[in-house]
Structure 1
Amino acid sequence: MDRIPIDLAHIQDFKGKYPKQLWYLFFSEMWERFCFYGMRGMLVVFMVSQLGMNEKVANLQYGATQAWVYAFTFIGGLFADKILGLRKSLFWGGMLMIVGSIILSIDPKNFFFIGIGFTIIGTGFFKPNISSMVGQLYKDGDPRRDAGFSFFYMGVNLGALIGGYICIAVAEGSLWQSLVPEHLRWNVGFGFAAVVMVISLLTFTQTQKSLGPIGLTPLPHLELNQRRTREIATYVGSLVLVPIIIAMVANTEYTSYFMMVIGPASILYLFYEMKSFTAVENKKLLAALVFIVFSIFFWAFFEQSGGSLSLFAANNLNNEVLGIALSPNGVNNSANSFFVIGFAALVGLVWLWMAKRNIEPNTVVKFGLGFLFLAGGFWIFYYTKFFANEQGITSLGIFTLGWFVITFGELCLSPIGMSAMTKLSPQKTQAVIMGMWFLASAYGQYFAGLLGANIAEASENATNAEKLNVYADGYYQLALYALIAGIVLILISPLVKKLMQDVK
């Protein structure tokens, strides 16, 4: 892993819109996202239908599980920065994800939290580091970076589309009924995740030589034995954490305590790191914090997808879009990814077109637009109540239109956000900043669980028609909050732009 076949300048001086290394990272990330989103789409439905949890508890449990997944990306990014390097961290994370998926495929009912524990830690080591490697394919100030991240994000969503639909559709029995025995449907759903993670790691290991020095050890000044000692200690320490994570995920109140600590602690750590940077670098880091804080609110609303919207899809949607019979939960879990695949590259090219004419909106305004689209999508979710029958069943087609609108909000925020993190952070702290970006997602997931639990509690013991109204009214409130956040971001954009200095 420590050989350098090509230098960084050669990689960054690529011709055309995208470097070839982006394709390799694209496919590795695609299969990992198949694993992640496939499992995400199954969690709440599995907990309600197979583990017997009520909907409020399932939402809280979903929020806690997903919060830990993203929170651990901060820790994984830290160890990648300081000890393992991006590549070894990615490989170790992938191995742990494979173990977790295999455990879940063997006996998901009895080994649920054990499998989730391995998956959480594995994702923490894998996820922030592959995004950091994408950022290093570009020179500072390269206008092609946003388009590159948009293309990379399309790979994320290709995996999410395939895994997000197939896993839950097979597990619920609406896909491949004749091929998968009923008593093994959930095992097979979780088993898909293990298979595709093996493909993801093979893709990375077979193409990593083309990355040159990107992602190698951060400790080249130490002797090999000293480096290996620290690496082994990291591997062992992460395994020791597995039972601790299992206990904390299984008890959601522990997650609440953790969330009270990890966010402030990460900010304090960043302030400590800022002592060694220049004033210009520190202003950029403060701008990054603005994006990080606002992204919490975005994900708290967006991630209703895996929580309350999963239950809304299961209870209140029909199974037809444009005359085609589809799994409502499969659509809920994959429609967004479907639209990203169709429009991510186009949006990236629009940014390039606007940049050439000096009319591209700055990153802060893009974030604000993201919230406005999010508000529009949740208003459509609310509006489905007016198309419901007496049994509380409404249109899957209109619901899908809501995801179409939200997709443009995500494309204004998420790939642009990842790109901004790499542009605003100094090289030696990029993985930590990327980890904080995903830590913001952890808070979003955590609050998503709380919001979904409140909606579920309000609709407890209600008829299906009454439940539809409660859920729809909840989405109306979220649309209003998203609208306010978008307006605030656009209003403060001149101030944040000053903090960003020369970063567009």
Structure 2
Amino acid sequence: MSLKDNICNFNLLKQPKPFYLIFSIELWERFSFYGLQGILTIYLTKILNMSEDAAFSLFSAFIALVYGFVAVGGWIGDKILGSKRVIILGTLTLILGYSLIAFSKNKIFLIYFGLSCISVGNGLFKSNPSSLLSSCYDKKDARLDGAFTMYYMSINIGSFLSMLTTPVLAKIYGWNIAFSLSVFGLLVTLLVFLSFKGLIKNIGSYPDFQSISSKTYFFTISGIIVLILISNWLLYNLKVIKIVLMILSMIIVIKFIQETVLMKRSDRLKMLIISILTIEALIFFVLYGQMPMSINFFAAHNVKNTIFGFPIESAQYQSLNPFWIIIFSPILSRIYDKTGKYLMISYKFAIGMIFCSISFLILPIGSIFSECGIVSPLWLIFSYASQGIGELMISGLGLSMIAQFSPRRLMGFIMGIWFLTNSVSSFISGYISSLTAFPEGIVTDPIESLKVYDSVFTKIGIISLIISIIMLYTAPYLNRIILLKTQDKQ
């Protein structure tokens, strides 16, 4: 493949027309979500006076619900309403949720109810754009990896802009104005989708091309309202969420196994590949979950809040993650094109995990050069850069992996299972972050807090490095399955 071909695979001008709409709505929806995520834990501690441990617990539960409902939204899109109708329904639910938080005037019951609406709305929305995108390409299309890498870049363009902006808005104009930015993002999402819906008139799941009865709409919307009320109750009863998540996960796994058993041999091999890589991705999501929690508070407690002489808010450091994603996306896309048949996805996952482990091991090294417990921001910049490469090689390619190996009729459902790993990992992430939390009301010495962060980050780095070595060792066996699948297809 020539250099020109490599560039074209990543070129926005070489994609099918529906790609542009899907790219846009995902960008603006993620703009809203990450704007909230970037400041939520800080808001809970500073304004609602929660302890760090309590804030981490609530945030973890919220994220668990956010991704726990994605499989449900994918199923509704695949089987009941169609992907396009569910995107609209999810967007409206999200607008309600973000509005409740933005105009809550710091009333805790409105914050909780808003988070409940967001968790259900995200579940409805999240898997359906990626499901539509996968329908735009043939499974053998050489542009597939590049398209999903660009799609992943759209997520990070949105998150970069909002995570850079909301901390400043919160400081200058207040927290409610900062949260209002998320409402704006969802209004743009809805406007863009409705205005250019004609671009995707020929793609979608089976129900998209069928008429839907008012009775079906009534029961679906009623079910959504019930889910919001259940989510709200669960956020007040965090221990119950773990039990519910376990039950939901078991039901989804059983359904996954049932579907797999009924498939022919070549499709069962595809499902096996999905299963193994999804388990590996679960480990990554545990590490990724540290950014809005332990790493966010590490930046607040122990990192100098200036970059090259310019003052910044500590929460703005999180924007480094999407910044590096945007930088590395075209580079990795070109590398994938050059090494496609040599560097299979199992090796990409393993190498990505190595970069994730390095991102944590960098931070304790930086603390060696700290001054009075305050670390140079350069170490955090390097850490986010390494994490960004790892994220692109695991989470970024995960959607492409599902698009390649999932049966069309189960695309939304399996996309939902992929996002369910975020839900399961959130509680593990919350537990790990709680190891760095300090008791409520105690003002910590930066030198003492740095020791705690060093200990936790070193352990995370070492354990994830061991896991990455295991992944490298098992990659050849997984590649044999992939090659066998390809031969069966031929």
TM-score by shorter chain over 0.5? yes
Match of 2:6 in 1: none
Q: Of 431, 437, 454, which aligns to 1:456? A: 437
Alpha-carbon displacement from aligned partner over 1:59-100 (angstroms, at most 9, x marks no partner): 111111111101111111111111011111111111111011
Aligned residue runs from structure 1 range 46-445, under 5 A: 46-107=43-104, 109-110=106-107, 111-171=110-170, 173=171, 177=172, 180=173, 185-218=174-207, 224=211, 227-331=213-317, 333-355=318-340, 358-359=341-342, 361-390=343-372, 392-445=373-426
> What displacement does 1:310 show?
1.5
Q: Of 31, 38, 42, which aligns to 1:34? A: 31
Q: Measure, in 2, the Cα distance between the counterparts of 1:498 and 1:262.
A: 32
Instruction: Give the TM-score normalised by the residue count of structure 1.
Output: 0.90
Q: Measure, in 1, the Cα distance between the counterparts of 2:478 and 2:204.
A: 30
Match of 1:45 in 2: 42
* Equivalent position amino acid for 1:339 in 2: W
**Cα distance change, pair 398–220 in 1 and its aligned pair in 2 (3 A):** closer
Unaligned runs of 5+ in 1: 1-13
Q: Measure, in 2, the Cα distance between the counterparts of 1:193 and 1:244.
A: 23
Cα RMSD after superposing both structures: 2.0
**Cα distance change, pair 108–97 in 1 and its aligned pair in 2 (3 A):** farther
Q: Measure, in 2, the Cα distance between the counterparts of 1:205 and 1:78.
A: 22
> What displacement does 1:217 show?
4.5
Alpha-carbon displacement from aligned partner over 1:246-268 (angstroms, at most 9, x marks no partner): 11123221122123222222111
Match of 2:462 in 1: 480
Q: Measure, in 1, the Cα distance between the counterparts of 2:360 and 2:324.
A: 16
Q: Measure, in 2, the Cα distance between the counterparts of 1:20 and 1:345.
A: 20
Do 1:322 and 1:397's aligned partners in 2 also have CA atoms closer than 8 Å?
A: no
**Cα distance change, pair 17–50 in 1 and its aligned pair in 2 (3 A):** same
Secondary structure of 2:58's counterpart equals helix
* Equivalent position amino acid for 2:177 in 1: V
Secondary structure of 1:343's counterpart equals helix
Q: Measure, in 1, the Cα distance between the counterparts of 2:425 and 2:163.
A: 20
Over the matched positions of the two proteins, sequence identity in percent amounts to 25
Which has the higher mean CA deviation after the structures are superposed, 93-102 or 271-280? 271-280
Do 2:39 and 2:315's aligned partners in 1 also have CA atoms closer than 8 Å?
A: no
Which stretches of structure 1, 4 residues or more, deviate above 6 A after TM superposition? none
Q: Measure, in 2, the Cα distance between the counterparts of 1:499 and 1:56.
A: 43
Match of 2:5 in 1: none
**Cα distance change, pair 460–42 in 1 and its aligned pair in 2 (3 A):** same
Match of 1:10 in 2: none
> What displacement does 1:216 show?
4.8
Match of 1:8 in 2: none
**Cα distance change, pair 434–259 in 1 and its aligned pair in 2 (3 A):** same
Tell me how many residue pairs correspond in the alignment: 473
Secondary structure of 1:143's counterpart equals coil
**Cα distance change, pair 98–472 in 1 and its aligned pair in 2 (3 A):** same
* Equivalent position amino acid for 1:466 in 2: E
**Cα distance change, pair 330–16 in 1 and its aligned pair in 2 (3 A):** closer
> What displacement does 1:103 show?
0.7
Q: Measure, in 1, the Cα distance between the counterparts of 2:158 and 2:260.
A: 36
> What displacement does 1:125 show?
0.7
Alpha-carbon displacement from aligned partner over 1:336-395 (angstroms, at most 9, x marks no partner): 10111112122112211223xx43x100100001100001111112223213222x2221
